[in-house]
Structure 1
């Protein structure tokens, strides 16, 4: 919430081996997992949300242009994909230079985002018994400064930084998952991950992270149902009381992102539902190029300090 009463939110995901890419899925089908290198399917996904004072809904902008291996450059401190880049600075902040275009209606998204990480717990968690897929909440309680030239938006707020990595496609091992992040009134961050594997029982993970980075694993609370999305994607969360669904920020044939108010604490929570079973359907992948275009070639130039 901004001082003028508006609500601004941003989600940025960097993919090397874009797990939600139809082009990557088609390449793996044709060439096998080993014949389809992850580096050939890279993208920076930006989702911008804004609700003006008094408005009932959010405006949305979306970018997710996939690019090939020739546009990728990276080392221990820097990563660039096409004209956009991320880099760790000496003061510990993460800066991202964005220069992307929205779809389906072209609009430039260009500017700087700076993430100033809070405490880093340093823990990573396997999402499957075989340890093929991992998730790490890198800096659950951080600050962000958004300074975009196009569209013109400038604001500051709380931020969250995490990473996922794996050694084979998600759809081979999972049917779905539900994820939620909540910032408590006392500054703690709580994280929920409820994973449904293709084989075996569901696994739920509940974490509480203090402002100083101390992490504790909690007993998962009971499931609480949420309404299905407009695409009929099943979604639920974990909690001691039924939550309030405030807004569906993103809705697609296999994924939705929601804003909740927890039923027990009243705290705001960001929630994500992913159906990999739905993503694996050919009809769904045929729809995705309209939201995820692929571009060949692109600049490898690193512009000075802009940000995530």
Structure 2
């Protein structure tokens, strides 16, 4: 990841360029072309292509705050994905998804903590969005998507804490009574953020999906911000 200035950004109805990388919509697939350099401690070229083929597209938008300043948009909650990077062992295909967050304020202004999870199910996928806002209110939402991308708010079991990340970020997700969620694959571990594959049980169905926990109290710390700058370099000018 590299923070880039306005000169590096271009967008049309079906293409978004950020410096040397881009995302293009063909009408059936989202094609992501990557040409980047990884950060410390292993600096290397990251090149290749990721192709996401949605099973269906969703028009759902979930406001994360009452005033709509933050929006979650699950464009393709259930998809096929193909990864082809120019490195040995970095080619695979499988099950994936595509979503995005939009906002008019920084996350740390309005949230202190959130967890999110997307779990493939027998009928589609269930997404869990739980958050604690700065004003003390909470977001507690579970959305089930079917194979056609249709969505409905559903009841989900209560929040259940499980083992903290390596950086001791607090983690929780939903789980049936007596079930303890557990990490089955670590994907990203940072002082303020954890992303992993987590196995849990929702309404009797054992599911394994992508889970994230975000501690925005930590993220807003000047110390963490300075650490993050070494991992996400800034390039203000792009020819």
Query: Which bracket does the TM-score occupy, shorter chain normalised?
Result: over 0.9
SS at match of 1:277: helix
| Equivalent residue, structure 2, for 1:93 | 29
Of the three residues 67, 75, 81, the one matched with 1:130 is 67
Alignment length (residue pairs): 234
Deviations 1:263-285 (A, max 9, x none): 45332111000011110111111
SS at match of 2:119: strand
**1:21-36 equivalence runs, <5 A:** none
Q: Does 1:286 align with 2:223?
A: no
| Equivalent residue, structure 1, for 2:8 | 71
- TM-score normalised over the length of structure 2: 0.93
- TM-score normalised over the length of structure 1: 0.73
Of the three residues 206, 212, 219, the one matched with 2:155 is 219
Distance 2:57 2:236 in 1: 37
Q: Give the superposed CA RMSD.
A: 1.5
Distance 1:93 1:247 in 2: 27
The alpha-carbon deviation at position 187 of structure 1 amounts to 4.1
Moved more, 107-116 or 263-272: 263-272
SS at match of 2:157: coil
SS at match of 2:2: strand
Q: Please say if residues 163 and 182 of structure 2, whose CA atoms lie closer than 8 Å, have aligned partners that are also in contact.
A: no
- Higher-strand-fraction structure: 2
SS at match of 2:211: strand
Deviations 1:248-295 (A, max 9, x none): 321111101121111453321110000111101111111112211112
Q: Please say if residues 204 and 220 of structure 1, whose CA atoms lie closer than 8 Å, have aligned partners that are also in contact.
A: no
